[in-house]
Structure 1
Amino acid sequence: MNLGKDKGPGKGVKTYQRLWGLVQRHPKKILILVLLLVAYYFCLPNQLFHTPHATVVESKSGKLLGAVIAEDGQWRFPMVDSVPYKFEACILNFEDAHFYQHPGFNPVSISKAFIANILAGKTVRGGSTLTQQVIRLSRNNKRRTYWEKVRELVLATRLELKFSKKYILKLYASHAPFGGNVVGLEAAAWRYFGMQPSQLSWAEAATLAVLPNAPSLIYPGKNATKLLNKRNRLLHKLWNNNHIDSTTYQLSLLEELPQKPFQLPDTAPHLVQYLAKKYKGKRILTHVDQNLQANINSIVNTHYKNLRQNQVYNAAVLLMDVKTRKVLSYVGNTPTDNEHEKDVDMVQANRSTGSVLKPLLYTAMMNAGELLPGMLIPDVPTQIAGYTPENFNESYSGAVEADKALAKSLNIPAVRLLRSYGLEKFRDQLDLFNLRGLDKPADHYGLTLILGGAESNLWDLCKTYASLASTVNHFNATSSEYYTKEFVEPNLTVDTRVDFGAKSTEPTIFDAASIYLAFEAMKKVNRPEGSESWEFFDSSKQIAWKTGTSFGNKDAWAIGITKDYVVGVWTGNADGEGRPNVTGLTSAAPILFNVFDVLPRSSWFQKPEDEFTEIKVCSESGYLATEICPKKIISIPKKQNFIKPCGYHQWVHLDSQKQFRVNSSCADLSRTVSQSWFVLPPLMEYYYKKGHPSYKTLPPLMENCKETNVAAMEFIYPSNGSRITLARNFEGKKNELIIKLAHVKPATPVYWYLDGKFMGQTTDYHEMGLMPRPGKHGITAVDALGNEVALMITIE
């Protein structure tokens, strides 16, 4: 049975057979065609332009903060994101009306140009499309020959196949010459009109549209008539083609041409230079708030006018967002001159830290359970291994609470705390903060580490305090947890994301409670003149802040912290010259609080309750309470506590009139009055009672009683082991060495001996002037009751 006809090969097979037959008949022609197609496909370079770009830095809203010129000396910005409508309409009407219709070349325009040039005997008209001009620009404007035109035409068609019309237009707008060393629409808009391309008027856009036509001949400031005529003809064409109305046309004709190039915005010059080192030739979108930057620039400029009257010429300010670590403002220096190092970025410069590390020591000791906020710290003349620290005000308080010592930035308590905590241990902990400039071992710095013996910079210090603040914020926001990467670098650019790491029950460095207590102490720092009574005003902002002044008044610091912001300020001279009255309080702090005045109000830190526990302490000494001292309850970090019980309270036995102390050597203790008494050692008491009128000196011992276990007297000056050089007076004679001593009963006579030789007697005011010769000497003081103290000194 015949079920159907054989249909034979399908259409696809037949097509293949015909093509194969064609190849067999014309192999050479087919090979040449294939090679031409391959050559055509690969004729367009992967990267058309290899010219360097300027480094462009923008604010978070896309406003230009500043730029660094390209390596070849051209103002050539990175490629624009888009071409504004006005400029697009202008350039298409002037150069290529059929841009969106042709395949890369316009046969009609080429024919007209060819005929015109033949008749004229020279090139009088061009027929290039914008696509062809892009190719010519990418080939560095090679000499115009017919062969070059052919190559441009081929490459232009290939460009059209590879990219969209919008992209080709962006290529042209980004690389067209606009006269002088200005290349590209964006650079031209800023240089000639001082604004972004999107802000250009029709007249301004038309001016820029005609410039690339003859950039070597026509540019602002020269040939103004030719430029004006070209612009006005283009405006007329725009009106005829209904791009603008009659009113806009008439008003545009009245606009003047630019007379000279504008300076580019220079809102954050040091930030621009800092970023240009890492992002050379790129467009960088930062987190900088342009309005805040302008306000802080103005604040710095205002204070600069005052500072320079004291020959202080430099200052810097850094503003960071605590929660995101975004840098919101970066002022690297004042608007000073080259002579005074105006180009030095003082945000990044390492300088002596002064006292700004003291809160870190306070926090470290809290975190280690070795300090309580109200614990009394000795504040008396001190010499440690030949080092004699001095308080800034050159006075002593005898004893001071730890938090007040931090608030008052007292040097002697800080040095004593550092020695107690351990210099090596604290130095090692500082490495965790990655403070550049602090790169030497503990022995190099010694105890001066806490007073400015080390160097760091505003960038790293602000980063550190922002991380401390964020530790408290995160703990309160995450069900009492920490982040493993809390101490991260500040965030400058929008393409950078801060990674705080994973959550953890263990703190990164310090616990939230210790940090919170440090901030509470820093909140009590006396504010600059005019703001001393801030706590009495509801509108005042709560700010934890710390000042610092380096040795020789070379550097003045102020760092302020709130829940949301960290502000750091440095003032001084970039060349290191110190000036009188340059201190953190008088020079840097006023700038700090002016900056906080322009910031939104922040609430105070929430107390991290889960990291606290309550204990009883002695209300007068701040040490752990004993049975014999008045008590109060305080909150401290929840950790092992190494604080000793209070040793400043002791039981004393008094006679019935409570006028004299008695003991078993002279009285029946069953008939005496016993009570707890707050007693400081003689040297601490000597200074402490001057500032504490309520302090009661221990009553004197009854005459027929023997003294037991009480230090009766102590040297105030000098310290044991001191090396002393006797100064000379105006007459050239050496001044006496004045020895000072504190006695629990000042009226008791004291007898003085130098190297065993009696030198005199004092009563009430125990000071003795001596004139020892160079060399080692022993000084001994013996009171009428037989108590004796001695020390050794060396006269140089």
Structure 2
Amino acid sequence: MLDRLFPLPPAPRYSPIVLAADGSVLHAFLNPTQKWRMKTELAEITPALQQAIIHKEDRYFRYHFGVNPVAIVQAAGRNLFGKGRTTGASTITMQVARLLEPKERTFGNKLQEMLRAVQLEAHYSKAEILQLYLNLVPYGGNIEGVKSAALFYFQQPPDYLSLAQTVTLAIIPNQPRVLVLGKNNDRILAERNRWLRQFQRERLFPNQDVEDAINEPLDAQRHAAPTLAPHLARRLVAQRAGQPIIHSTLRRAPQAKAEDLTQNYVRRLRELGISQAAVLVVNNRTRAVEAYVGSADFQDAAGSGQVDGVRAVRSPGSTLKPFLYALAVDKGIVTPKQKLPDVPTNFSGFRPENFDKSCAGEVTVERALTYSLNIPAVRVLADVGVPVFTDKLRAAGFKSVAKAAPRLGLSTILGGCGATLEELTGLYAALADGGRWRAVRLTSRVTSRAAPLPRRKEPATSERKSSGSPLSRGEGGRGGEVSSGGEALVSPAAAFLITDILAQRTRPDLPMGYQNSRHLPKIAWKTGTSYGRRDAWSIGYNADYTIGVWVGNFNGQGSPALTGADIASPLLFDLFNTLAYNSPNRWAVPPATLDFRLVCAETGLVPGEHCPNQLIDYYLPGTSSARHCEHQKEALVSADGAVAYCRACVPATGFRRQLFPNPLPEVLAFREAQGLPSSRLPPHNPACQLVRTDGGTGAALAITSPLDHAEYVLDRKDKQQMLLSCAAGSEVRQVFWYVNDRFLRAAAATERVFFRPPSGTVKISCADDHGRNVDIQLQVAEL
């Protein structure tokens, strides 16, 4: 009934603070009334602080019901007869009532204050009321509460203060405008020692502790509020509005070091037109984020320093390639030593180029990934399937990919999608954890939400155990714990193979190899550079940590010097060398699902009949392709090697068996276009009467120029011509070109043919001398 007529006051409005994993304050904010009022938790109220405050302010605090009648009578006598010091006989509980609802000091307001004190005692334990008092007491200026004062003046939480510091904070609230730390330290020192002597006489603390406290100098100055991890702090405060204390997973030392390294490194890049960087450090075992650097300098307005680079959606460049190759391993498409074509290729109108604009002909999967070659990666994505790839990325928390998935194509693997540093670092942490993905964690537990004074139904007692705090109750307890589950994105075997490949690349900061620097951590790492050199990435991991680095400009401006290997990697190595120096260097071991097999050194496939050079390669039994190598083909040729025979026309004598290279048509065409030595099968016996329709024995025929389904605009005045070229098997000597089903001309298989196409829809056909043909269609316009 009393609560309805006399409702409890609203909860105090605390300053949001973000704590590190060890409980120290990383970042603090002003409360909505522009005061520093940091919430003191029950565990931070030490016995020394309780004794000093209670003995000084309200010796009978633990025994009265909010109002001390004896003290009131004594105070009334002193005030009435003018004997002794004039006092108001306020208990700690009455002071809490006044601090919650400041009013002019009148007799009526005093009575209301007493009534409120009795009400508070009915609802809360003594420990909670003392906690509330310590959260509201003034310390001069806009500083309120013992925790705020401890952090601002002593740079320590209340439970880390010495006895001298504790007593100092206990005496200031009575005269906050006179006893100003940093200005009146001599006066405060004398007052502190006077109270310490009084506590000594009353045997409140051991004599030696008091003597040590008296001899302790007072060197208190107001310090700036802690401002580590500003981007994460604002993110968490926005997500958990109303929570006065947020427990993050960050570790203070790694966070401070990461911020310093990032700021100093970017300062050296400014002359290159590069102004920003972001860093994320993840503990692989717990997925807890231990360092979070959103920008090089939060205060850098010119460089948009308040933008959070950890959450900014950018082009990921080549950073998704390791994950793609891991999927391809699981699907049996590739193994590490298998060779992939690295030649100019038209993927239905999309013609990717390698970063250095060159091609190697054929490369192993290991080399394609290590050197981040684009053309082999696009080919592998075409084999895996874009929907399969994007579905896995969606499962790994890639929000931009999930939204754009229906529109994404083969360019996705080259950075043609959006991703954040947080998403990419989490993906690499999955590779470090055997392919199992779990979302990275930013908070270590759920904290209570501030709320108005609740009404308790249980009867009040003099002392009640409480896990919460007065005026701020909610669902407490542990939260955000590590889950033993997760999403299995790739198999442990695939994750190991990719890790093994990424760890083989020589680190530029260790030109003589990792083995010569045993105190530095061994890592697997991958770089990426977006189109236009707008984003440079470098992400590395070992058994303990995954660290992601992004370098660039928040306005999207590119820089000629901006590449992942040259610009982002040095910062990655600095971070690893600092955070994991002299670590155990535990490394991944091959899972039982992996095995070894002999493969052909020329193709990386299971050795065929003509594979003399072999080497050992990893594979997944029952999954990896068992296709046999056919890099050489045996043919029946005349004694002089001029013609080749089929089984139908081979003579009884005068022929021999000879091995000829049997590369893919596009690889053969590339080698010949580059002037590299190549050997083609001689033309078929012209006297053979068998009409061939390919019969499945020849390689595929492909038109390499022009592009299928492409649109061309030609200048009528310049009389521009169009190039015709094809890729054919080694047995093909001659091809025949047709335009709109009309014969154009015959040409050698490697000859480049030029012609003037008509306007509109144009059909281009090519047939070879083995009966194969291929058609494409394009649009031509003239200006």
TM-score normalized by structure 2? 0.78
**Contact 2:314–2:535 (8 Å) recurs in 1:** yes
Deviation at 1:620? 1.4
Deviation at 1:331? 1.6
1:239 maps to 2:197? yes
What residue number does 2:76 align with?
Answer: 114
Given candidates 503, 506, 516, the residue that maps to 1:537 is 516
Mapped to 1, the partners of 2:191 and 2:771 lie a distance apart of 112
What residue number does 1:517 align with?
Answer: 497
**Contact 1:780–1:791 (8 Å) recurs in 2:** yes
Render the CA deviation track for 1:672-728: whole Å, top value 9, x for unaligned.
55354443245414656999x9x9632674999899977899876655665456899
What residue number does 1:637 align with?
Answer: 620
Deviation at 1:425? 2.9
Cα pair distance change 1:713/1:349, threshold 3 Å: closer
**Contact 1:44–1:155 (8 Å) recurs in 2:** no
What residue number does 2:455 align with?
Answer: none
Mapped to 1, the partners of 2:6 and 2:633 lie a distance apart of 91
What is the SS of the residue equivalent to 1:270?
Answer: helix
Given candidates 583, 594, 605, the residue that maps to 1:612 is 594
Cα pair distance change 1:542/1:652, threshold 3 Å: farther
What is the SS of the residue equivalent to 1:456?
Answer: coil
**Contact 1:652–1:661 (8 Å) recurs in 2:** no
Deviation at 1:184? 0.9
What residue number does 1:562 align with?
Answer: 542
Deviation at 1:186? 0.7
After TM superposition, the structure 1 = structure 2 runs for residues 184-583 of structure 1, keeping only pairs within 5 Å, are: 184-201=145-162, 204-215=165-176, 219-220=180-181, 224-225=183-184, 228-229=186-187, 231-242=189-200, 248=212, 251-252=215-216, 255-256=218-219, 258=221, 261-280=222-241, 281-335=243-297, 337-440=300-403, 442-471=405-434, 487-490=438-441, 492-494=443-445, 495-498=478-481, 500=483, 508-525=488-505, 527=507, 529-537=508-516, 539=518, 541-583=521-563
Deviation at 1:57? 1.4
Mapped to 2, the partners of 1:492 and 1:677 lie a distance apart of 64
How many residue pairs align between the two structures? Answer: 725
Mapped to 1, the partners of 2:528 and 2:687 lie a distance apart of 50
- What amino acid does structure 1 have at the position aligned with 2:192? L
1:67 maps to 2:46? no
Render the CA deviation track for 1:650-677: whole Å, top value 9, x for unaligned.
11457779x8775479986866553544
Cα pair distance change 1:643/1:134, threshold 3 Å: same
Q: Which one is further off, 69-78 or 680-689?
A: 680-689
- What amino acid does structure 2 have at the position aligned with 1:390? E
**Contact 2:311–2:422 (8 Å) recurs in 1:** yes
- What amino acid does structure 1 have at the position aligned with 2:516? F
Mapped to 1, the partners of 2:381 and 2:637 lie a distance apart of 39
Cα pair distance change 1:675/1:247, threshold 3 Å: farther
What residue number does 2:679 align with?
Answer: 698
Mapped to 1, the partners of 2:138 and 2:336 lie a distance apart of 68
Mapped to 1, the partners of 2:123 and 2:390 lie a distance apart of 60
Render the CA deviation track for 1:528-554: whole Å, top value 9, x for unaligned.
x33354355362644222222222222
Deviation at 1:378? 1.8
What residue number does 1:684 align with?
Answer: 667
What is the SS of the residue equivalent to 2:551?
Answer: strand
Mapped to 1, the partners of 2:438 and 2:44 lie a distance apart of 39
Deviation at 1:263? 1.9
Q: State the identity as a percent.
A: 29
Render the CA deviation track for 1:291-315: whole Å, top value 9, x for unaligned.
1112222221222112322222222
Mapped to 2, the partners of 1:132 and 1:491 lie a distance apart of 40
Mapped to 2, the partners of 1:279 and 1:577 lie a distance apart of 34
What residue number does 1:603 align with?
Answer: 586
1:83 maps to 2:50? no
Q: Which one is further off, 750-759 or 421-430?
A: 750-759
What residue number does 1:20 align with?
Answer: none
Deviation at 1:66? 0.8
Deviation at 1:65? 0.9
Render the CA deviation track for 1:14-49: whole Å, top value 9, x for unaligned.
xxxxxxxxxxxxxxxxxxxxxxxx86xx79999765
After TM superposition, the structure 1 = structure 2 runs for residues 109-148 of structure 1, keeping only pairs within 5 Å, are: 109-111=71-73, 113-118=75-80, 125-138=87-100, 140-148=101-109
Deviation at 1:624? 3.7
Q: Which fold has the larger relative contact order, with Cα–Cα distance below 8 Å and residues 6 or more apart in sequence?
A: 2
RMSD of the TM alignment (CA)? 4.6
Given candidates 645, 649, 658, the residue that maps to 2:632 is 649
Mapped to 2, the partners of 1:264 and 1:776 lie a distance apart of 70
Mapped to 1, the partners of 2:724 and 2:169 lie a distance apart of 84
Render the CA deviation track for 1:272-297: whole Å, top value 9, x for unaligned.
11211233323222332221112222
Cα pair distance change 1:752/1:69, threshold 3 Å: same
**Contact 2:594–2:620 (8 Å) recurs in 1:** yes
What is the SS of the residue equivalent to 1:277?
Answer: helix
- What amino acid does structure 2 have at the position aligned with 1:523? A
Render the CA deviation track for 1:191-228: whole Å, top value 9, x for unaligned.
2333322344555444433332244676457xx45x75
- What amino acid does structure 2 have at the position aligned with 1:303? Y
**Contact 1:316–1:332 (8 Å) recurs in 2:** yes
Deviation at 1:470? 2.3
Mapped to 1, the partners of 2:218 and 2:329 lie a distance apart of 69
TM-score normalized by structure 1? 0.77
Deviation at 1:591? 1.8
**Contact 2:325–2:498 (8 Å) recurs in 1:** yes
What residue number does 1:183 align with?
Answer: 144
**Contact 1:82–1:170 (8 Å) recurs in 2:** no
**Contact 2:595–2:620 (8 Å) recurs in 1:** yes
**Contact 1:316–1:569 (8 Å) recurs in 2:** yes
Cα pair distance change 1:437/1:205, threshold 3 Å: same
What is the SS of the residue equivalent to 1:385?
Answer: coil
Q: Which runs of 5+ in 1 are unaligned?
A: 1-37, 475-485
Cα pair distance change 1:122/1:581, threshold 3 Å: farther
What is the SS of the residue equivalent to 2:443?
Answer: coil
**Contact 1:228–1:257 (8 Å) recurs in 2:** no
**Contact 2:193–2:214 (8 Å) recurs in 1:** no
Deviation at 1:271? 1.4
- What amino acid does structure 1 have at the position aligned with 2:377? A
Mapped to 1, the partners of 2:149 and 2:502 lie a distance apart of 51
**Contact 1:44–1:159 (8 Å) recurs in 2:** no
Render the CA deviation track for 1:585-637: whole Å, top value 9, x for unaligned.
1222222222221223432212111x235555433112344333345553322
**Contact 1:522–1:544 (8 Å) recurs in 2:** yes
Mapped to 2, the partners of 1:716 and 1:313 lie a distance apart of 42
What is the SS of the residue equivalent to 1:437?
Answer: helix
What is the SS of the residue equivalent to 2:444?
Answer: coil
- What amino acid does structure 2 have at the position aligned with 1:268? A
* The structure with more radius of gyration: 1
Cα pair distance change 1:302/1:757, threshold 3 Å: farther
